[in-house]
Amino acid sequence: MAVSDESPSHHRHFTIEEAGAELPRLRPLLQELRAAKADLTDSEAHQALAAAAPTNGGGAHGAQVGGAFIEVRRLLLELGEIGVVVRDIDRGLIDFPAYRDGREVYLCWHLGEREVTTWHEIDAGFANRRRL
């Protein structure tokens, strides 16, 4: 298969088999990322933090929001090191950079799917995904 002369956008590219082999590792990371984001965006914690911040820095609510931010950042970095692109934390939607017919594309997958079965062009999104 000839690969396009254009510079690839990503440092790692996956075959369908490689993407599928990563799913057992990715599922728990994406579930943790969802949970951390939920803590980060907890409106009650933000309201309590705003009310308490002038006197004590936010206490437990400040620790919750700060810890959630650190956890989201850690998980996003870990997922980035694997080589996937996180598209939607709530859905657990990720793209695997890949080559198809000699051009760079994304293999598309989200939590709840058993395996990687779809792909889309680099400049397209979830709505334009196609079956492999």
In a domain, 11, yes or no: no
The mean pLDDT value for 49-65 works out to 55
List, for residues 25-55, the tens digit of each pLDDT value: 999 999 999 999 888 776 654 455 455 555 5
**Using alpha carbons only, what angle is made at residue 99 by residues 98 and 105, rounded to the nearest 5 degrees?**
65
- pLDDT band for position 4 (cuts 50, 70, 90): very low
Contact 106, 126 (CB under 8 A): no
In a domain, 45, yes or no: yes
Domain span holding position 63:
16-131
Q: Is-above-0.85 flag for pTM?
A: no
Q: What is the pLDDT of residue 103?
A: 94
In a domain, 109, yes or no: yes
Q: What is the pLDDT of residue 64?
A: 63
In a domain, 31, yes or no: yes
In a domain, 47, yes or no: yes
**Using alpha carbons only, what angle is made at residue 97 by residues 111 and 34, rounded to the nearest 5 degrees?**
30
Q: How many structural domains compose the chain?
A: 1
